[in-house]
Amino acid sequence: MSEKKSFSLLNGYSFSFEDEGRNIEAWFSALSGQEKVFVEGTLVSSKRSLSTETSHDFSIAEDSYSTSMNAVDLIWGPYICTLCKNGKEIRRQNLVFPPAPSLKSTFRKISYWVSCLFYLCLYSLVIFAFVVAKVYWQLPEESYLAFFSVLLVLCFAIVAYTFRKWSARIQIIEEEIP
């Protein structure tokens, strides 16, 4: 039911439910603890909570609804959001993170060591090229600061890319409760 949305620690995540043609969306921020519930795009409940279990109560016509969010583990998940109608659970969605690879199995893989060697050679080559350029063109000492700033930005870009690739594997598992 819910379309694929990107998970972001900065932008939060939203669970989307549909009941009797109504779109109900529960959004949470992993950083600030802010939580909001929208019905057809209209804010019906909002609060800030740092608890692992929270709920929001609201009404639509004669029906009373509630959403409850439960963070089983704040770092590894899953995050579970349940929609209740008139006191009865009707739908549930689980935000499931991909499993983290064990370090033991990672260190045993040849591809891990080949990639480490590749990056080590790449960084060594870049540093060597910079030193040669500095000596050849007699660059000022400030050029070291600029060079290492660029390397730092490059490292952050690689980490951001890796996190984005990991977060693309996050799944929403939807359950309909009989």
**What's the whole-number mean pLDDT along residues 73-95?**
88
Kindly state the tokens that stand for 144.
């070291």
**Does residue 40 contact residue 61 with C-beta atoms inside 8 Å?**
no
**What's the whole-number mean pLDDT along residues 154-178?**
79
What predicted TM-score, i.e. pTM, was given to this entire model? 0.66
**Does residue 148 contact residue 131 with C-beta atoms inside 8 Å?**
no
Residue 150's contacts (CB-CB under 8 Å, 6 or more residues apart) are none
Kindly state the tokens that stand for 174.
């939807």
Kindly state the tokens that stand for 23.
């779109």
pLDDT higher than 50, residue 27: yes
- Beta-bridge partners for 80: 70, 94
- Beta-bridge partners for 73: none
